[in-house]
A and B are shown apart, each in its own frame.
Chain A
Amino acid sequence: QQQVRQSPQSLTVWEGETAILNCSYEDSTFDYFPWYRLFPGESPALLIAIRPVSNKKEDGRFTIFFNKREKKLSLHITDSQPGDSATYFCAATPNTGNYKYVFGAGTRLKVIA
């Protein structure tokens, strides 16, 4: 049973469009949500992260929108570039001393020029 769910499983957008990657979770104790990006042949690397004290976190073309009530968040990539093609993982951890670090199954993004 996935505690962190991501959708869609794969996504294809044209260059310049906004890609929207969705993530939802079940455990209300989760309070830190990092997104990791995995390029083919490389290792996952932290892209951007958010804590529930805010409902939006922006870093250049990447923005996380967070809805604590619905336990949902989304990663928006504006002006998508072919170089953004990768797998994006949403993760969640609690701040209760319960050492869970849960990743979603990932969304494979392809940006077509």
Chain B
Amino acid sequence: DAGVTQTPRHEVAEKGQTIILKCEPVSGHNDLFWYRQTKIQGLELLSYFRSKSLMEDGGAFKDRFKAEMLNSSFSTLKIQPTEPKDSAVYLCASSRDWGAEQYFGPGTRLTVL
């Protein structure tokens, strides 16, 4: 079975650009998560979808981060406009249900210059 896939694996952007990260969850999983991983904060939840419905929009990340899930097998995370402090690894994860094991994708390493 295919795991969670994420593209691109690496992204370099200039400050102020718009970037879109993509994620395909494990087939049949109902829950999809977007996280930002940094050495200081660890894993920060950006968005959470249940059956394509946005349940958690990440609070402090609202203004420049927007996650969408147009169908059950594809999600995007848009960062607009990017800032250097957004440089991090962005992880997508999916699970069968709330509280079940989360399966993480390989991540997208974003560098904003």
- Whole-angstrom CA separation of A37 from B9 in the bound complex: 20
B-binding segment of A42-50, A52-60, A67-75, A78-86: A42-50
Interface residues of B in 10-59 (CB under 8 A from A): 33, 35, 39-45, 48, 50, 55-56
CB distance from B41 to the nearest CB of A (A): 6
Say which residue of B35, B42, B48, B106 sits within 8 Å of A99 (CB atoms): B48
Interface class of chain B by DSSP = strand
Q: Of all chain A residues, which has the CB nearest B38?
A: A105
Interface size on A, residues (CB 8 A): 22
Say which residue of A6, A46, A106 sits within 8 Å of B102 (CB atoms): A46
- Whole-angstrom CA separation of A101 from B101 in the bound complex: 12
- Whole-angstrom CA separation of A106 from B50 in the bound complex: 26
Say which residue of B42, B93, B104 sits within 8 Å of A106 (CB atoms): B42
Query: Which residues in B have their C-beta under 8 angstroms from that of A32?
Result: 99
Scan A84-113; emit 1 where CB is below 8 A from any B CB, else 0: 000001010101000111111110000000
Query: Which residues in A have their C-beta under 8 angstroms from that of B43?
Result: 44, 89, 91, 103, 106
A-B contact pairs, 15 of them (CB 8 A): A34-B101, A36-B102, A43-B4, A43-B105, A44-B91, A44-B102, A44-B104, A46-B101, A99-B56, A100-B45, A100-B56, A101-B33, A103-B43, A105-B39, A105-B42
